[in-house]
Structure 1
């Protein structure tokens, strides 16, 4: 069995539910064939989230780490790059609101995902029919903070792990979706697409050359 770590976030602000954590639990309960998935919940807090993530990586010793976050995306959105900056228009769950602060002082400006991102989104669409896309930015809030922190850890710890970050949509019962403010997808469907992401990431070390960029 190949060990895989999947993280999701605790509820943020006024929400009482976070589908990133619900999806992570579904992957743990029903993992792809040949995988042992451990789901770990991260606090939506700068600094503390990376401490919990590092501990989880040390304790589970996974071959693959995929962190999940919630965003008003139209489908499963596989992130390409994490940048070394916290710049927040709103506070995290601990009330912190860093501005123009490096995640890792003197760290690289950015890290690319080591998932085969284009292959992942292609396989999600082909195998499930769900909408999927490569995203060019994970923002500058806690999701990007975790993505950058994860990739820095994997790049500097001396192991051969791979990892990346995936943003997922709201679920239909969440207020923002129920009021038609954002796209939504039932969490069971999201987990179905994420199983394809995990299987594809473990099966392929290299990506495919297809257009998945953006004009803006």
Structure 2
């Protein structure tokens, strides 16, 4: 089986994005699954277009997208994507939508189709701070998860899609005033998440 793992480019004036730094350090195989890793632009339109191209070319069995959630104190495994773009800041293309749908006429929301609760339980068993999250926000992270789930619903019904948010890296934590997590722990967390997805696919 093939699992597509994506991370984002830096945004909001940052020089690094921990989502891609962690994703790209994963091995090429986990739990019998082949991992294909790609960096996605932090742009509303380009992120969906990039994902569409990857799904068309690669035909993966599952997609795990990873994003930065500045201020989070743990790994957040997202359960819901909503059909809304409402940006507090502009994306990397300068776009700052307000009250726009991700997909015009699409459903209000989709639930993630990876084993979210099992992933959180597995992370906690390894003493990695983690929680289920019921809001992926309204920026490009939510946008990408919604695009993945919508495309799955329309064209690839067997495709499993999910999203994990990671905190800041210590060097991003603004003089220690924001929560952060070491890169090694982030990589371990993503490894565990991919293992859970691969195990479910076998069943």
| TM-score normalized by the length of structure 1 | 0.89
Following superposition, the deviation at residue 70 of structure 1 comes to 0.1
State the shift of 1:202 in Å.
2.3
Ranges of 4+ aligned residues in structure 1 off by more than 4 Å: none
Corresponding residue of 1:96: 95
**Residue 132 of structure 2 corresponds to residue 134 of structure 1:** yes
- Please list, as runs of the form range in 1=range in 2, the aligned pairs for 1:152-167 lying within 5 A after superposition: 152-167=150-165
Q: Deviations over 1:99-137 (max 9, x none)?
A: 1101111100000000111111001111x2110100010
Question: Residue 110 of structure 2 corresponds to which residue in structure 1?
Answer: 111
Q: What does residue 213 of structure 1 align with?
A: none
Q: Is the 8 A contact 1:65 1:164 kept in 2?
A: yes
Segments of structure 2 that go 5 or more residues without pairing to the other structure are none
Q: Compute the displacement of 1:32 (Å).
A: 1.8
- What residue is the counterpart of 1:54 in the other structure? 52
Deviation string 1:2-27 (CA, Å, 9 cap, x unpaired) is 21100100010211111101111012
Distance 2:174 2:94 in 1: 27
Matched, 1:16 2:15: yes
Whether the 8 Å contact between 1:31 and 1:195 is mirrored in structure 2 is: no
Gaps of 5+ in 1: 206-216
Matched, 1:74 2:73: yes
Question: Cα offset for 1:159?
Answer: 4.0
Contact 2:110 2:149 in 1 (8 A): yes
In 1, distance between residues paired with 2:95 and 2:192?
35
2:195 counterpart SS class: helix
1:191 matches 2:187: yes
- Equivalent pair of 2:170/2:181 in contact (CA under 8 Å): yes
Q: 1:30 to 1:185 in 2, by over 3 A?
A: farther
- Counting matched residue pairs gives 200
1:201 paired residue number: 197
Q: Distance in 1 between matches of 2:28 and 2:170?
A: 22
Q: Distance in 2 between matches of 1:80 and 1:185?
A: 22
> Which residue of the partner structure matches residue 211 of structure 1?
none
In the alignment, which residue of structure 1 is the partner of 2:63? 65
Higher relative contact order (Cα pairs below 8 Å, separated by 6+ residues): 2
Q: Distance in 2 between matches of 1:70 and 1:201?
A: 21
